[in-house]
Structure 1
Amino acid sequence: MTEHYFSNSPETAHERAQFTFELKGKKFIFNTDSHVFSKNTIDFGSRVLIDAFDDSELPEGALLDVGCGYGPMGLSLAYSTGRFVEMVDVNERALGLAKENAAANGIEQVDIHVSSIYEVTNQESYAGIVSNPPIRAGKQVVHGILEGAYPLLKEGGSLTVVIQKKQGAPSAQKKMAEVFGNCEIVTKEKGYLILRSVKEA
C-alpha cells in the first residue's frame, strides 16, 4: 500500500531533518521527518497563506488549523496573532513533530491532536479556520473541509484556504461561495490562490 502524508500512522522509516525558517518576523526551528507534507522546507502555498492572513477584523476567539502537518501555519499564526490555536491532522507522525516544534519555538497557546477534519474539535466555535487542504486526498475531503467550517465559525469568523489554480481552486471557490454566500480571492501568487469566506450575521 502506498503511504501518503495524509495516512494516519505512517510506518515508513524515519528520516528526521531540521531547518529554520522565518515566518511573521520570527525565526522558527522546524523538526520534520519522512512521510510528512513538505519535509524539506515550508511549502510555498502555506507561506502565501501565512503572509496573507489578517485577524484584525475577526471576532475574539481561537483559530483552527485543519491539516496542520508539522505546524508551520498554526504555530506562526499563534505567534503573530497571540490567539489560541487548535491544530488537527490525521497523520500522527506529523502531529508529534508539531508538538515538538511548538515546544522548540516557545509557542504554548496551542492544542495539537488527531482529528479527521472536524471529527474531534475541542472548542465550541472559532474566530477563524485555516487550511492548506490535502489535495491528493481527493475532492470529497477538500470540500468536506470547506463545508464543515461553516457551522464551527462564529458570526464574522472566516475560513481561509490556499489552493493552486490547477489543483481545483475554481471549484473550491464555487463551493465556498455556495456555503457562505461569499468568497474573496485575497491574493494570487505563482498560481496559488488564497480564498476567504466570512460567516455573515
Structure 2
Amino acid sequence: MSAEKNQMYFAVDPTAKHDEHVVDYHVDNVDLKFTTDAGVFSKMRIDYGSGVLIKAMKDVAFPEKNILDVGTGYGPLGLFAAKFWPKQTVDMVDVNERGLNLAKANAKSNHINNVNIYSSDCYTQIDDDKKFGLILTNPPIRAGKKVVNEILLGANEHLVNGGVLLVVIQKKQGEPSARKLMANLYGNCEILTRDKGYYILKSTKN
C-alpha cells in the first residue's frame, strides 16, 4: 500500500499522525460522545451522511435478530443502533485498527455493552451461520466501487428473511448504480430519505 493510502481511513494500520478530537452528537433523547483521530473517516465531526442514516434508521422496523454495522470507523452508526435497540446485539466491523480501537473506547465511555467490535474485511470474519435483522453501512466510497458493491451484495448472505439493508450514499458518488444493484439483487429498493444529496436506500430480503 502506498504511503498516501496508508493515511486513508480504509487502511488497516493508518500512519497519519495522531490528532484526537471529541465529538458530541445528539439524536432525540440520545446524546453520545465520540473520540476521533486522524486516519479514520470524518475525524472532525459525524459525517453528514452518517447523521442522516442515524436519524432515518431509528424509525425502521426489522426482525429482532441482531444488527451489523459494516465499515464502522470510530462507531457512530453501530453505537447509536446499540442505544436505540438495547435488547439487540450490534456487531461493528472494519479493517481500520485505529478506528476499531476508538470504537471500543467510545462504547466504553458511553456505557454501551451490547456490541461486538472486531476486524473484518467486509464479511470475511463474520460467521457464515450468523444472521442479522438489520445491516447498516456508510460504505467507504474512496476504497472503490468493488468494495462498495461487495458490501451491498454480501449483505444478502447475512440477512434473515425479512431482514433490512440500509445504505447511505451520495447521488454524485454512485447512488443510482447502488440503487439499481440493490433492486436487482433484493427485488426492491426504496429511497427512505433524501437530504443535501445524501440518499438512504433500503432493501428487504424476501
TM-score band, normalised by shorter chain: over 0.9
Structure 1 stretches lacking a partner, 5+ long: none
- Report the CA distance between 1:55 and its aligned residue: 6.2
CA distances 1:131-184 after superposition (whole Å, capped 9, x unpaired): 000011111100000100001100110100000000000000000011101100
The residue correspondences of 1:1-201 to structure 2 (distance < 5 A) are 1-2=3-4, 3=6, 4-54=8-58, 57-82=61-86, 83-122=88-127, 124-200=130-206
- Report the CA distance between 1:24 and its aligned residue: 4.4
Distance in 1 between the 2:54 and 2:152 partners? 18
- What one-letter code is carried by the residue in structure 1 that aligns with 2:84? S
State the TM-score, normalizing by the size of structure 2.
0.94
Secondary structure, in 3 states, of the residue corresponding to 2:149? helix
Secondary structure, in 3 states, of the residue corresponding to 2:44? coil
- What one-letter code is carried by the residue in structure 2 that aligns with 1:63? I
**Alpha-carbon RMSD:** 1.2
State the TM-score, normalizing by the size of structure 1.
0.96
- Report the CA distance between 1:56 and its aligned residue: 5.4
Secondary structure, in 3 states, of the residue corresponding to 2:45? coil
Distance in 2 between the 1:92 and 1:147 partners? 24
Contact 2:70 2:139 in 1 (8 A): yes
Distance in 1 between the 2:92 and 2:28 partners? 18
Distance in 2 between the 1:24 and 1:92 partners? 30
Distance in 2 between the 1:24 and 1:144 partners? 33
- What one-letter code is carried by the residue in structure 1 that aligns with 2:72? C
Distance in 2 between the 1:21 and 1:186 partners? 22
Distance in 1 between the 2:59 and 2:193 partners? 15
Structure 2 stretches lacking a partner, 5+ long: none
Contact 1:24 1:76 in 2 (8 A): no
Q: How many residues align?
A: 200
Kindly, what percent of the aligned residue pairs are identical? Answer: 50
Contact 2:23 2:34 in 1 (8 A): yes
Distance in 2 between the 1:94 and 1:24 partners? 26
